[in-house]
Amino acid sequence: MYGGGNVFETMKATALADEDPILLAAFEARIDRGEKIEPTDWMPQLYRKQLIRMIEQHAHSEIIGSLPEGTWITRAPGFKRKLALMAKVQDEVGHAQLLYSAAETLGKPREEMITDLINGKSKYSNIFNYPAFTWADSCFISWLVDAGAIVNQIANSKGSYGPYCRALERICAEESFHLKYGHHCVIHLATGTKTQREMMQAAVNRWWAPMMHFFGPSDKISVHSEILMKWKVKMASNDECRQQFLDMYVPKIWELGLTVPDENLKKNTVTGEWEFTEPDWEEFKRVINGDGPCNAERIAVRRTAEERGRWVREALLAPKAKYVAPLA
Amino acid sequence: MNTEALKDLLYKMADDQLILGHRNSEWTGFGPLLEEDIAFSSMAQDKVGQSWQIYKLLNELGESDPDTVAFMRNAEQFHNCQLVELPNGEYDFSLIRHFLFDTAEMIRFNHLATSSYAPLALLAKKIKGEIKYHTMHANIWVKQLGSATEESIIRLQTSLDSAMPYALGIFESSKFEKELISEGIFRGEETVKSEWLTQVKSILEHTKLTMPNIETITPVFGGRYGKHTAHLQPLLDEMSEVFKEDPTADW
């Protein structure tokens, strides 16, 4: 699961000054023609750097994202839910595996990426810094956070880097099952007993603000990234993704008798755009910079897992082996 | 057909699968490497799925529906061996438990595939196809980590020594061994155990690990009769936390 809000490297005006203009022109022409760039092809340093950063953030989001939902595997009510949730969270970990391997084709080893995650150098999707208090929270994540991720990932799967696009296609196919599972869970709660309905509404109330943040800051205030759009690294703007999500899912939320905690939320019939209260971008910044309800806990869990598993990885170490092929 | 004996057999097997499946699922997000998160999750799904199917057989024999049976009983009503309820500990313990337990499972379901109780024989054929991969996974890892570094060897040996008394508890005799054997439902725990010892030793021979002397070990029994460690009830409380909020609700 992953949304927008990518933290891209600040680009200097001179970033492309050292690149060979002929190679650069050929590279851009290939992208214009809709060709995919493969690991052994020539690419500008900036393209490589930004892609590593984006794919790495995506991979981290998958493993960190498995934590809030993972805590509900052992508490899922009934066999059907227990089995489905296990499979769902397992998929997320599998996505991380696919994505780390895609990023590795650009030259950064998995261990190094995980070290950067643990040290706080590398980011992940902000939404996982919020706690999943109840079963209904886990259902909200499975349905709507995954739905948001699909919007973003389908756009990115049309990008220019071959291994990332192929990984995303596989990921989206699995995410579509997650969405069905999550929707099924939410329907049961929203149309269930009074306790279940209240539990579901409380989850929507809790998760709405993080969900709006999920797609990243408004285009009005986010860093301009024309060159990343031109190179098909970033495929849709944060606002475009957010609008698409609202258009697809707000009616479905309302249909279940649930309310959305934003009295300004409505579709403008003239422009066709959704209007809403501007999300609190100061909070977004605060949380992404480490001061959210669960940042410390999420990283601590990951660090502990890494430390506890070190002896296993050392026992597997074959220093001469070199990984080259992407999984997708 | 001795239904009481059959139910006793089915309950202990279903409970084993459910509890170990639950423990395996606790590795999700915490594995020593992503591939092991994924592997333990697959085994968890298989085991919980297998328990569900066995509870369905019990349901056909007049017991409550699988969700009620799994989510509403207390620890003393469970018949799993104590090995499966122990906390995961470090990866070395989880791996050794998985190796010892699944080696026994493979033999058990191989036998059950020819059970005189046809629904069980049919299910066992399906289950043994899944467990084959669990034992392959365990064997590869035990061979690798049991021969790799000083730390990995010491860790596995320590876990092997501490798990062995509990592993012998898998084969605690039921009240119905004779009936199950004479009616051709199941060949009995002693038969499984003797094959198990041979197979466990044959894998350990490929490692730098030493098979504990089982003659001097007192097996930990009691699980099959509802006697459990202090770890089982908290596991069940967690498992049923949401379900019990309203057992009649459709979740």
pLDDT tens digits for range A39-98 = 999 999 999 999 999 999 999 999 999 999 999 999 999 999 999 999 999 999 999 999
- Average pLDDT (B108-125) is 98
What distance in Å separates the CA atoms of residue A207 and residue A204, rounded to the nearest whole number? 5
| Six token digits for residue A32 | 């214009």
Which residues of chain A make contact with B38, given a CB cutoff of 8 A? 90, 93-94, 97
- Mean pLDDT over the full length of chain B: 97
For B182, the domain range is 3-245
- Average pLDDT (A131-141) is 96
What does the pLDDT read at residue A12?
67
CATH code of the domain containing A64? 1.20.1260.10
Share of chain B above pLDDT 90, in %: 98
CA distance A156 to chain B (A): 24
Cβ–Cβ gap B32/A192 under 8 Å: no
What does the pLDDT read at residue A3?
64
| Six token digits for residue A301 | 């869990």
Residue A71 lies in a domain: yes
B216 CB near a chain A CB, below 8 Å? no
Instruction: Among A74, A308, A316, select the one facing B90 at the smallest CB separation.
Output: A308
What does the pLDDT read at residue B165?
98
What does the pLDDT read at residue A263?
97
Q: Read off the amino acid at residue A293.
A: P
**pLDDT per residue as tens digits for the range B145-178:** 999 999 999 999 999 999 999 999 999 999 999 9
CB B117 within 8 A of CB B6: yes
CA distance B52 to chain A (A): 7
pLDDT band at A109 (very low <50, low <70, confident <90, very high): very high
Q: Kindly provide the ipTM of the predicted complex, given to two decimals.
A: 0.96
Residue ranges of alpha helices (H) inside chain B are 3-25, 34-60, 66-72, 82-85, 91-112, 118-145, 150-168, 177-182, 189-204, 232-239
Distance of CA A319 to the CA centre of its chain: 32
Cβ–Cβ gap B91/A309 under 8 Å: yes
A96 CB near a chain B CB, below 8 Å? yes
pLDDT at A130 over 90: yes
What does the pLDDT read at residue A189?
98
pLDDT at B80 over 60: yes
Which of B26, B35, B38, B41 is the best residue to mutate to test the A interface, defined by the most A CB atoms within 10 Å of its own CB? B41
Which residues of chain B make contact with A308, given a CB cutoff of 8 A? 30, 32, 90-91
pLDDT band at A16 (very low <50, low <70, confident <90, very high): confident
B59 CB near a chain A CB, below 8 Å? no
A196 CB near a chain B CB, below 8 Å? yes
pLDDT at B70 over 60: yes
What does the pLDDT read at residue A220?
84
How many residues are given for chain B? 251
CATH code of the domain containing B164? 1.20.1260.10
What does the pLDDT read at residue A226?
83
What does the pLDDT read at residue A1?
61
What does the pLDDT read at residue A222?
73
Instruction: Indicate the DSSP class of residue B222.
Output: -
Q: Read off the amino acid at residue B247.
A: P
Cβ–Cβ gap B26/A81 under 8 Å: no
* Residue of chain B whose Cα is closest to the Cα of A191: B250
- B75, B82, B88: which is closest to B22 by C-alpha? B88
Q: Read off the amino acid at residue A262.
A: D
SS3 B96: helix
Residue A11 lies in a domain: no
In the Cβ-directed half-sphere of B74, how many Cα atoms lie within 13 Å? Answer: 3
What does the pLDDT read at residue B118?
98
Residue A3 lies in a domain: no
CA distance A92 to chain B (A): 9
- B246, B147, B27, B124: which is closest to A89 by C-alpha? B27
Instruction: Among A77, A90, A135, select the one facing B28 at the smallest CB separation.
Output: A90
Cβ–Cβ gap B38/A90 under 8 Å: yes
Residue B251 lies in a domain: no
Cβ–Cβ gap A74/B22 under 8 Å: yes
What does the pLDDT read at residue B1?
85
What is the distance in angstroms between the CA of the first residue and the CA of the last residue of chain B?
37
What does the pLDDT read at residue A219?
85
Which residues of chain B make contact with A82, given a CB cutoff of 8 A? 48
CB A277 within 8 A of CB A262: yes
What does the pLDDT read at residue A326?
65
- What's the pTM? 0.94
For A148, the domain range is 24-316
What distance in Å separates the CA atoms of residue B18 and residue B23, rounded to the nearest whole number? 9
Residue A5 lies in a domain: no
**pLDDT per residue as tens digits for the range A211-232:** 999 999 988 887 667 888 999 9
What values do phi and psi take at B78, rounded to 5? -95, 145
What does the pLDDT read at residue A97?
96
- Mean pLDDT over the full length of chain A: 92
Q: What does the H/E/C string look like for chain A?
A: CCCCCCCCCCCCCCCCCCCCHHHHHHHHHHHHCCCCECCCCCCCHHHHHHHHHHHHHHHHHHHHHHHHHHCCHHHCCCHHHHHHHHHHHHHHHHHHHHHHHHHHCCCCCHHHHHHHHHCCCCCCCHHHHCCCCCHHHHHHHHHHHHHHHHHHHHHHCCCCEHHHHHHHHHHHHHHHHHHHHHHHHHHHHHCCCHHHHHHHHHHHHHHHHHHHHCCCCCCCCCCCCHHHHHCCCCCCCHHHHHHHHHHHHHHHHHHCCCCCCCCCCEECCCCCCEECCCCCHHHHHHHHHHHCCCHHHHHHHHHHHHHHHHHHHHHHCCCCCCCCCCCC
Cβ–Cβ gap A312/B36 under 8 Å: yes
Cβ–Cβ gap B35/A87 under 8 Å: no
Residue A325 lies in a domain: no
CA distance B134 to chain A (A): 17
Q: What angle do CA A195, A201, A206 make, to 5 degrees?
A: 125
Domain tally, chain A = 1
What does the pLDDT read at residue A11?
66
* Residue of chain A whose Cα is closest to the Cα of B251: A188
Residue B250 lies in a domain: no
pLDDT at A321 over 80: no
Cβ–Cβ gap B49/A83 under 8 Å: yes
- Average pLDDT (A180-202) is 97
| Six token digits for residue B207 | 């490692």
Which residues of chain B make contact with A185, given a CB cutoff of 8 A? 251
A309 CB near a chain B CB, below 8 Å? yes
- Cα pseudo-dihedral B5, B6, B8, B9, rounded to 10: 120
Q: What angle do CA A206, A254, A3 make, to 5 degrees?
A: 50
**pLDDT per residue as tens digits for the range B164-223:** 999 999 999 999 999 999 999 999 999 999 999 999 999 999 999 999 999 999 999 999
> Which residues lie below 8 Å from residue A293, measured CB to CB, with a gap of 6+?
A129, A130, A131
What values do phi and psi take at A12, rounded to 5? -85, 150
B155 CB near a chain A CB, below 8 Å? yes
Which residues of chain B make contact with A188, given a CB cutoff of 8 A? 250-251
What does the pLDDT read at residue A5?
60
pLDDT at A312 over 90: yes
Domain tally, chain B = 1
Cβ–Cβ gap A305/B30 under 8 Å: yes
- Average pLDDT (A130-144) is 96
Instruction: Among A72, A83, A93, select the one facing B45 at the smallest CB separation.
Output: A83
What distance in Å separates the CA atoms of residue A258 and residue A268, rounded to the nearest whole number? 21
Which residues of chain B make contact with A70, given a CB cutoff of 8 A? 28-29
- The Cα-based distances of A32 to A38, A48, A107, A148, A307 in angstroms read 15, 18, 25, 28, 45
CB A233 within 8 A of CB A160: yes
What Rg, from alpha-carbon coordinates, does chain B have?
18
CA distance B55 to chain A (A): 11
Q: What angle do CA B185, B108, B110 make, to 5 degrees?
A: 85
- Average pLDDT (A264-292) is 94
What does the pLDDT read at residue A318?
62
pLDDT at A114 over 80: yes
CA distance A153 to chain B (A): 22
Q: Compute how many other C-beta atoms are within 10 angstroms of the C-beta atom of residue A46.
A: 19
Share of chain A above pLDDT 90, in %: 84
Instruction: Among A77, A90, A312, select the one facing B145 at the smallest CB separation.
Output: A312
